[in-house]
Amino acid sequence: MVIGGQHEMPPLDEYLKDADRLAQQVVNAWGIDAHAGLVPTPQFKALLGKACLYRTARRLADNHRKFDVMSEAEEAEELAVRHSFAEAYKAFYEKQTAAS
Q: Which residues contact 90 (CB under 8 A, 6 or more apart)?
A: 9, 10, 12, 15
Query: What confidence tens digit (pLDDT) does each residue in 76-97 have?
Result: 999 999 999 999 999 999 998 8
pTM score: 0.88
Query: What confidence tens digit (pLDDT) does each residue in 44-71 have?
Result: 999 999 999 999 999 999 999 999 999 9
SS3 100: coil
pLDDT score at 100: 76
